[in-house]
Amino acid sequence: MLTRLFEGSVDRQSVLLALALTVVVAWIAALLVQRLAGAGLHALGRDRLAESATHFHGPVRLLGSGTFLLVFGVLLFPAFQIVGLHPRTGIDLRSLAEWMFDRGLHVLLIVILAFLSASFGAFLTNAWISHKNLGEVTVKPCATCPNCVCKPLLGGPRCGCPQ
């Protein structure tokens, strides 16, 4: 069966070594993406998003699974070539290396710049919102309503008290 997948002689230990190394690398990449995505979602929804919520873990697991499958699929055949096997199909190690240092660096630069611009935009938005709400932070009890807490909004209380 292995002779249909590879040219020449096939060593089962080499196949298992390539599979094991590819699974480990893909698992580490998926774990890293899950941690980064979890940290990003936590930073975006600081107070509104609980880490135990299902809407928090769903996208993180989806990104991790997708990353695992992508990295495993891309690196499997080059791993076979590294251990000395010659697969009949798949991505050639040389073409993968050429793409990585030619177009791959451009893609990586675009992803990094997009992440930085989104982070900077979120930072500016949060700073603007906290600056706009600075006048509403002051809380003082209402003199006429003992159960009411008035927050000044445009120079007056929200509850309609005559204060």
C-alpha angle 40/130/54, rounded to 5°?
35
Report how far residue 113's alpha carbon sits from residue 85's, in angstroms, rounded to the nearest whole number: 38
The answer to whether residues 70 and 105 belong to one domain is no
User: What is the reported pLDDT for 136?
Assistant: 52
Whether 149 maps to a domain, the answer reads: no
- What's the whole-number mean pLDDT along residues 110-125? 79
Single residue among 66, 91, 116 that ends a domain in this structure: 91
- What's the whole-number mean pLDDT along residues 129-138? 59
pLDDT at 158 over 80: no
- Measured between alpha carbons, how far is residue 24 from residues 11, 27, 30, 148 in Å? 20, 5, 10, 59
The count of structural domains within the chain is 2
The answer to whether residues 43 and 81 belong to one domain is yes
Whether 151 maps to a domain, the answer reads: no
Q: Which residue's entry shows tokens 């073409």?
A: 95
Name the percent of the chain lying above pLDDT 90. Answer: 12
User: What is the reported pLDDT for 138?
Assistant: 47
In sequence order, the 6+-apart residues with CB closer than 8 A to the CB of 61 are 34
Whether 148 maps to a domain, the answer reads: no
The answer to whether residues 56 and 3 belong to one domain is yes
149, containing H or E segment: strand 149-150
The answer to whether residues 72 and 4 belong to one domain is yes
- The tokens for 45 are 């929804």
More confident residue, 136 or 98: 98
Could you report the per-residue pLDDT of 89-115, keeping only the tens digit for each?
777 777 877 887 788 888 878 887 887
Three-class SS state of 159 = coil
Which residue range(s) make up the domain with 104?
92-135
The answer to whether residues 26 and 36 belong to one domain is yes
Whether 48 maps to a domain, the answer reads: yes
Q: Which residue's entry shows tokens 């893909």?
A: 26
Q: Highest mean pLDDT: which of 15-24, 87-96, 139-148?
A: 15-24
Mean pLDDT (the chain) is: 75
The answer to whether residues 80 and 101 belong to one domain is no
| pTM (predicted TM-score) | 0.57
The answer to whether residues 4 and 45 belong to one domain is yes
Whether 157 maps to a domain, the answer reads: no
User: What is the reported pLDDT for 119?
Assistant: 73
Amino acid at 97: A
